[in-house]
Structure 1
Amino acid sequence: MNADAIRERTGSLALPPASELRGSLDRLIGTACHGLSSSAPAYSARGVLVRWQRIMLVLLAVLLAGGLLLAPAGAGVVAIGLVTLAYAVAFCYRLVLFRLGARGGRMTTVSDEEARSVPDDQLPAYTVLVPVLHEPLLGELVEHLERLDYPRRLLDIRLLLEDDDAETTAAVRALAPQRHLSVVRVPVREPRTKPKACNYGFLPAEGGMCTIYDAEDAPDPLQLRRAVVAMRRLGPQYACVQARLGFYNATQNLLTRWFALDYGSWFGNMLPGLAALGAPVPLGGTSNHFRSEVLRAVGAWDPWNVTEDADLGLRLHRAGYKVGVLGSVTLEEANSDAINWVRQRSRWYKGYIQTFLVHVRRPRLLTAQLGPRGVAGLVVFIAGTPLLAAFNGFFWLLTAMWFTSRDPAISALFPPAVYYLGMACLVLGNLAVLYMGVFTARQMERPDLLGAALLMPLYWALMWLASLKAVIQLVTAPFYWEKTAHGLHQQGEPMVLPAGRGS
């Protein structure tokens, strides 16, 4: 799809070419912060709600409050019935995705031999963006990046540092200079987010392909070559391939085991399921490999969205492009601390709600671009994941109150239709979670995760806390980027980094 076709579908999103931005740092940082919000404000999360959305939320709040005041029993039944129905729809949708993904066939695999067989002169220049903030241990990161099997003359690794980050700046001084590795100092300017740094590093770059790695990542050494082969095989309608993410400290504690199963299901089944269904694929924050010209044409990353990756996946889909899933693994550190995990997950949930609100601003255009399946994925998967998680605590409280008090007022909230639907969600939903966890452990060939899989329903308590925090922060601090602390894995625990990590 050419730039004119993208403009017709999405509006004027294209950013200036690299040659125009390299000569002016002021214009570069201005474009990195405001390029998308200035050229296509309807696609930017800089404004959380547009006018009709604010009016709709106020009307819904007034309607709910009025119903609870005038007819509390009836309003309660209707509200609980609608939420229960939403649970049932989300449960069925995720099962369909899981089943489609588990069938296989949607993962693009590239063998080691095929990846190495491409002559160096047929490989594109590759821009590798590595945003780092308060990361004193850069030596391990650079060691992992140096394992990448790609011609050094075509490799452009950019460490993106905030200009006032003295801690990381001191660590950079200890690094051995490399021609293919440069340090980019990102000016201090709001918003202080990862996507702003990525824009600042990407916009003046000339690489034909571009990817992102996080500070703790250990990518498959052949991943760049695999991505090039995969993109050529898939064809120009594909803008990006998303590599799978795994963990090198999955067995550290129960939380890291849950996290490993969570990611195993997400990248091994859910994302391939979305691709099979023809729904938008929300990208992960790392190891996504783009055609640079397409990334620039759709406005790159939204610096005001705290899940810029998921938003970008939707924007690519709306522009008529597809996203593939690459059979290559990047290992990273699983969150082993519950507080740190909630901080990270709440940012993801907040960004999912941001992304939903942004993309439904023009419902007719959205429906025309995504189609019914895409809209269903946006509503059920993107909005439903954090919002339904937030409702979990309310239903747990009602259940506890019923068992301890047998209050008939609670019973009245659950007429037969609502009661049996809710019971099906409770019983079948938890059984499905157990099944998917056990299936994922088997699929990953990790019998050591089976015990954690059987305890997966307990993982929902942390998700509930994260979702509550996300909803609160969406109102109080919508653009605040909560930094995830790294280096929490146990000292002395070996990092198993095999030479090749394909599918």
Structure 2
Amino acid sequence: MRGEPYSPQLPAHLSARTALNRRSILRIVIAIGLIAAAFAVAPTTAATVVTSVIAVCYLITSLDRNWLLIKGFTSPSLITISDEEARAIPDDELPYYTVLVPVFAEPTIMRYLLAGVGRLDYPADKLEVLLLIEEDDIPTQQAVVDMTLPSIRVVLVPPSLPRTKPKACNYGMTVADPRSEMMTIYDAEDIPEPLQLRRAVAAMRQAGSDVGCAQCRLAYFNEDQNLLTRWFAIEYDQWFGVVLPAIQDAKCAVPLGGTSNHMPTAVWREVGGWDEYNVTEDADLGVRLARYGYRTIILDSITLEEANSDIINWIRQRSRWYKGYLQTMIVHLRHPLVLRRAIGTKAVLRLISMTGAVPLGNAFNLLFWFALLCWVAGRPPIVDLLFPPVTYYLCLVLFIVVAPLAVFVGLVVCHAQHKPYLWWAAILVPLYWFLQSVAAIKAIYQLVFRPFFWEKTVHGLSHSPVAADHSPATAHGEKQS
């Protein structure tokens, strides 16, 4: 490797590069030491306190998540721009748009560009598509030699550390056209609906100057490939179709998705671009937008992606996401009072719930499930020690009420999104929780030992459609024949 990271002016205290610096590690070591000392001096009391705190936190985050789902169902706040409104803006009044398409070691999915980014309905003289390929990624470079796409420009990213998607995107913006007024990201396999850029422009103009980003909904073109892709589809429908609009409506920080987030180039530069050391640079950028006083709106425009259909590949991808959630939480809680002044108490608590609490809760799931199995198998004294009456009944509520409620909500989402063919996957979703727990434990391990390692997700494991139907029925979740 050579060279330095291509980074905009991101303040050091907002970068994951120093998330686990000496001071942070010292604090963690001291906390672990105090907990260990408490167990040594008063094991019964310490065990009771620890399990009770975990159970209470789990209950609060679960209730908050279900409250957001209820709010999302009862008060939908997706921003809708009709085809007529999208096309009403004259071409000469549209802003110059930069579309970033980072790709690494994926020569086989270059054909997706024709069905996806190649079908965007936007004036060619006001659009540049930057295909970001690593300088030493020869197979991918060869795959695009004979391809002809309007407005596309291949940009070779010089090798440097960290070798991450946000690093490539930051570099891409350094060579973007100076006329760039709006920008977004798509993965190479993404299939955005053709009018998405126009819808984003119209939505941003209607929403006001305090809106810094329009996040579009993400869905999957292979959601019915197998059980794993069905689970993934249900999860995405909940997240982008219900939860994020509710977070937007509550005026909290919105963790962005990995693609299809549209923002003014000037705003992107103002907040410091992407953190090249955060492996969920999208979620982190969403929090920084809120810290700088910008709102994020959720736009009812679909981008179809490829759902991960392989369990091992899924765990690699999900553990990276969870590691990034932890990085994001740690970075933004370095100075909690400063964060509270910037976004408010409610937003801080919800930020914790939506980022670091997710992998931590999934990791503790395994511990609680193991305790349950031990209790059923033989009622060992250690379970009595860990779960005194109050904690025991609290966990019983989580098991008997909250868990079935989560399954029920999944069924409601399938009905609301007009996807009855996903009902049986929604019933089996507890098996999906186990996979999430495995990914969470891996994420915690990598946060300590490989914090900046970008675990590559393999794409092209399913058959992509030649073109996607983004009719209104599809946009609202109805399966096309």
TM (norm. structure 1) is 0.91
- In the TM superposition, residue 428 of structure 1 has moved relative to its aligned partner by 1.5
Name the counterpart of 1:85: 56
After TM superposition, the structure 1 stretch with the greater mean CA deviation from structure 2, 409-418 or 338-347, is 409-418
1:122-133 mapped onto 2 (5 Å cutoff): 122-133=93-104
Q: Distance in 2 between matches of 1:334 and 1:465?
A: 19
Q: Does 1:432 align with 2:401?
A: no
Contact 1:144 1:218 in 2 (8 A): yes
Name the counterpart of 1:20: none
Contact 1:244 1:326 in 2 (8 A): yes
Write the letter of the residue equivalent to 1:46.
Answer: R
Q: Distance in 1 between matches of 2:8 and 2:299?
A: 30
Contact 1:33 1:191 in 2 (8 A): no
- In the TM superposition, residue 241 of structure 1 has moved relative to its aligned partner by 0.5
1:234 to 1:404, Cα distance in 2 relative to 1, 3 A: same
Write the letter of the residue equivalent to 1:149.
Answer: D
Equivalent residue for 1:158, pick from 127, 130, 150 = 130
Contact 2:99 2:185 in 1 (8 A): yes
Equivalent residue for 2:414, pick from 441, 447, 451 = 441
Write the letter of the residue equivalent to 2:314.
Answer: W
Write the letter of the residue equivalent to 2:201.
Answer: V
Deviations 1:384-414 (A, max 9, x none): 1111111111111111111111113312322
1:107 to 1:386, Cα distance in 2 relative to 1, 3 A: same
Q: Distance in 1 between matches of 2:350 and 2:447?
A: 22
Equivalent residue for 1:412, pick from 382, 385, 390 = 385
Write the letter of the residue equivalent to 1:135.
Answer: E
Contact 1:298 1:319 in 2 (8 A): yes
Q: Distance in 1 between matches of 2:468 and 2:116?
A: 9
Deviations 1:115-155 (A, max 9, x none): 11111011001100000011113122234212111011111
- In the TM superposition, residue 52 of structure 1 has moved relative to its aligned partner by 4.5
Q: Distance in 1 between matches of 2:175 and 2:90?
A: 27
Q: Does 1:480 align with 2:429?
A: no
- In the TM superposition, residue 299 of structure 1 has moved relative to its aligned partner by 0.5
Name the counterpart of 1:308: 281
What secondary structure sits across from 1:35 in the alignment? coil
Q: Distance in 2 between matches of 1:260 and 1:232?
A: 31
Gaps spanning 5+ residues in structure 1: where? 1-25
Equivalent residue for 1:469, pick from 442, 451, 463 = 442
Q: Distance in 2 between matches of 1:453 and 1:177?
A: 40
Name the counterpart of 1:14: none
Write the letter of the residue equivalent to 2:343.
Answer: L
1:122-271 mapped onto 2 (5 Å cutoff): 122-137=93-108, 138-176=110-148, 178=150, 180-205=151-176, 206=178, 207-271=180-244
Name the counterpart of 1:62: 33
Equivalent residue for 2:357, pick from 376, 381, 384 = 384
- In the TM superposition, residue 288 of structure 1 has moved relative to its aligned partner by 0.4
Q: Does 1:107 align with 2:98?
A: no
Q: Distance in 2 between matches of 1:75 and 1:130?
A: 51
Q: Distance in 2 between matches of 1:177 and 1:318?
A: 38
RMSD: 1.6
What secondary structure sits across from 1:324 in the alignment? strand
- In the TM superposition, residue 72 of structure 1 has moved relative to its aligned partner by 1.6
- In the TM superposition, residue 105 of structure 1 has moved relative to its aligned partner by 3.6
Q: Distance in 1 between matches of 2:382 and 2:119?
A: 64
1:499 to 1:396, Cα distance in 2 relative to 1, 3 A: closer
Q: Distance in 2 between matches of 1:321 and 1:412?
A: 48
1:469 to 1:395, Cα distance in 2 relative to 1, 3 A: same
Deviations 1:152-185 (A, max 9, x none): 111100000011101101101121264x110000
Q: Distance in 2 between matches of 1:59 and 1:139?
A: 53
- In the TM superposition, residue 494 of structure 1 has moved relative to its aligned partner by 5.0
After TM superposition, the structure 1 stretch with the greater mean CA deviation from structure 2, 421-430 or 208-217, is 421-430
Gaps spanning 5+ residues in structure 2: where? 477-481
Contact 1:366 1:375 in 2 (8 A): yes
Equivalent residue for 1:295, pick from 268, 284, 304 = 268
Write the letter of the residue equivalent to 1:487.
Answer: G
- In the TM superposition, residue 113 of structure 1 has moved relative to its aligned partner by 1.1
TM (norm. structure 2) is 0.95
- In the TM superposition, residue 496 of structure 1 has moved relative to its aligned partner by 6.4
Q: Distance in 1 between matches of 2:226 and 2:358?
A: 25
Contact 1:130 1:214 in 2 (8 A): yes
Contact 1:248 1:496 in 2 (8 A): no
- In the TM superposition, residue 50 of structure 1 has moved relative to its aligned partner by 4.4
Contact 2:79 2:299 in 1 (8 A): yes
1:267 to 1:258, Cα distance in 2 relative to 1, 3 A: same
> How many pairs are equivalent?
470
Name the counterpart of 2:331: 358
Sequence identity (%): 46
Contact 1:164 1:188 in 2 (8 A): yes
Q: Distance in 2 between matches of 1:499 and 1:98?
A: 25
Contact 2:47 2:385 in 1 (8 A): no
Write the letter of the residue equivalent to 2:97.
Answer: Y
What secondary structure sits across from 1:107 in the alignment? coil
Name the counterpart of 2:479: none
Q: Distance in 2 between matches of 1:177 and 1:105?
A: 37
Contact 2:193 2:470 in 1 (8 A): yes
Contact 2:244 2:298 in 1 (8 A): yes
Q: Distance in 1 between matches of 2:8 and 2:137?
A: 24
- In the TM superposition, residue 47 of structure 1 has moved relative to its aligned partner by 1.1
Name the counterpart of 1:330: 303
What secondary structure sits across from 1:464 in the alignment? helix
Deviations 1:21-69 (A, max 9, x none): xxxxx9xx75x534345xx100111112245533331221011111222
Q: Which runs of 4+ in 1 moved over 6 A?
A: none
Contact 1:434 1:453 in 2 (8 A): yes
What secondary structure sits across from 1:78 in the alignment? helix
Q: Distance in 2 between matches of 1:53 and 1:375?
A: 20
Write the letter of the residue equivalent to 2:181.
Answer: G
Deviations 1:200-244 (A, max 9, x none): 111332311100001110000000000000000001100001000
What secondary structure sits across from 1:108 in the alignment? coil
Contact 1:102 1:268 in 2 (8 A): no
After TM superposition, the structure 1 stretch with the greater mean CA deviation from structure 2, 429-438 or 221-230, is 429-438
